[in-house]
Copies of this chain bind each other. A is one copy, B any other.
Amino acid sequence: MTPTPAAAERTRTPSATRASTMKAVVKATRGPGAEIREVPVPTAGPGELLLRVLRAGVCGTDLHIYAWDRWSEGRMHPPVTLGHEFVGEIVERGAQVTQFELGERVSCESHVICNVCLACRTGNGHVCENTRILGVDLNGGFAEYVAVPASNAWRAPANVPLEVAGVMEPLGNAVHTAFSGPLSACSIAVTGCGPIGLFAIGVARAAGATCVIASDVSPYRLDLARRMQADVVIDVSRENFVERVKAATGGHGVDGVLEMSGNPDAMRDGLSALRMGGRLSLLGLPKEPFDLDWNRLLIFKGITLHGIIGRRMYETWYQMDQLLRSGRLDIRPAITHVMPMEKFEEAIALLQSGNAGKVVLVPWGAEG
């Protein structure tokens, strides 16, 4: 597949006019905070694409990095440009890249994997032993431009708005979690209505769940859950989760639980609310170890529990693509804010307040 003359034309033009530096949100030093800096525009190495970033999502992980928590301290090596959720337009193709054209819009998988470890070679690249993450280990997408391996790019469905294409990475977490067990004709509970939980409500519905139950403690988030069309919404600060789930499922319990909160009680309640032989898929990261009554909650009920991380590469993207392209899935109610990347600090504050779903940033010059 060679670029058409028109496409080649487009290549040349931006390349010629592109400035040598750009603005980016950079974790500059080993400590709290992040700053907007002028940094060099990257180039597309062999097998890479250079993207002009159009939209980028802010993630809970970005809050941890901003706060410089223990995990960040142990993992990161500043300076690093932040941002692991984004969509961009291809402005340059490195050597050996033939599967994309200049000008195409692609969303990106954030895990850059080794392709040679056992996990990678046996279809489990999402748990690659040598993963490096864009915006954490490698420069990310909170910038005007970002360079990514072409193998990490996925053509954005033409029908979805840019802010949706910009958050396919976390949407993929929701898809991966939901699709790790049966969904069709199933009752599914989503515990925790942060952005990925909210996405999961929509995913479960679009993927054929016949009853989607959502729980949280925040009235703001429960309202978003309703707007994502959860069939049952439970405020666990006031209501008994297990009783309400049983009532909604003919007394049997749910077929599956998608645990998105990392909260020990949510997980225990989720297991209690499962029907015999059900499954719980665990994406939410607990802050610390916690105990479980294994016999009663798991063994005697014949439960299957899935630990979930990342996205299957790229089965999850194919599923997500079909959900979005068909129009069956609409996650816009969960995207509550779209704001200039320049206001990155404001986005952080907003997320810290809890009164936001997904927040999407628009880089400098990408407002169109």
- Chain A positions within 8 Å of B, measured between CB atoms, are 46, 98-99, 115-116, 118-119, 121-124, 126-129, 151, 175, 179, 183-187, 206-211, 231, 252, 275-277, 282-283, 285-286, 289-295, 298-309, 312-315, 317-320, 322-323, 325-326, 328
Contact between B315 and A307, CB atoms less than 8 A apart = no
Cross-chain contact A307 with B304 (CB below 8 angstroms)? yes
Q: Are A289 and B293 in contact (CB under 8 A)?
A: yes
> Is A126 in contact with B187, judged by CB distance below 8 angstroms?
no
Give the Cβ gap from A204 to chain B, nearest Cβ, in Å: 9
A276 touches B308 (CB 8 A): no
Interchain CB contact under 8 A, B309 and A299: yes
A315 near B127 (CB under 8 angstroms)?
no
- Distance to closest chain B CB from A171 (angstroms): 12
Please state if B276 and A299 are interface contacts (CB–CB under 8 Å). Answer: no
Give complex CA distance A124, B253 in Å.
15
A294 in contact with B302 given A179-B184, A184-B207, A276-B118 (CB within 8 Å):
no
How distant is the Cα of A308 from the Cα of B303 in the complex, in angstroms? 8
Q: Please name the residue on chain B nearest to A317 by beta carbon.
A: B121
How far apart are the CA atoms of A285 and B298 in the complex, in Å? 10
Knowing A123-B123, A210-B328, the reply to whether A185 touches B323 (Cβ < 8 A) is yes
When the two chains form their complex, are residues A299 and B328 in contact, meaning their CB atoms are under 8 A apart?
Answer: no
Do A323 and B210 touch (CB < 8 A)?
A: yes
Whether the pair B289, A294 counts as a contact (CB closer than 8 A) is: yes
A119 and B304 contacting across the interface, CB-CB below 8 Å: no
Docked pose: A161 CA to B275 CA in angstroms: 28
A128: chain B residues at CB < 8 Å are 276
Choose among B175, B184, B295, B302 the residue that contacts A127 (Cβ–Cβ < 8 A): B302
With A289-B293, A294-B282, A306-B304 as given contacts, are A315 and B123 in contact (CB-CB < 8 Å)? yes
In the complex, A313→B294 CA distance in Å? Answer: 23
Task: Provide the bound-state CA to CA distance between A107 and B51, in Å.
Answer: 39
Report Cα–Cα, A317/B185, bound state, in Å: 11
Nearest B residue to A100, CB-CB? B116
| Docked-complex contact A210 and B322, CB < 8 angstroms | yes
A174 vs chain B, min Cβ distance (A): 12
A319–B211 alpha-carbon span in the complex (Å):
12
Which residues of the partner chain B approach A303 to less than 8 Å between Cβ atoms? 306-307
Bound: A185/B172 CA distance, A: 13
Given contacts A118-B275, A127-B276, 14 further A-B contacts (CB under 8 A): A118-B276, A122-B315, A123-B312, A126-B302, A128-B276, A179-B185, A183-B184, A184-B319, A186-B322, A206-B210, A210-B328, A283-B299, A286-B294, A300-B309
Give Cα distance in the complex from A300 to B186, angstroms: 27
A282 and B304 in contact, given A116-B99, A121-B314, A210-B328 (Cβ under 8 angstroms): no
Contact A322 B211 (CB under 8 A): yes
Min CB distance A306 to B, Å, is: 5
A307 to B186, CA, bound (A): 20
Q: How far is the CA of A211 from the CA of B322 in the complex (A)?
A: 8
B294 x A187 contact (CB < 8 A): no
Contacts of A308 in B (CB 8 A): 299, 302
Instruction: Please indicate which of the listed interface residues A290, A302, A318 has the most CB atoms of chain B within 10 Å of its own CB.
Output: A302
User: By the criterion CB–CB under 8 Å, are B211 and A208 in contact?
Assistant: no
Give CA–CA (A294, B263) in the complex, Å.
Answer: 11
- Known A187-B322, A292-B289; contact A119-B276, beta-carbon cutoff 8 A: yes
With a cutoff of 8 Å between Cβ atoms, the chain B residues found around residue A318 in the complex are 118, 121-122, 185
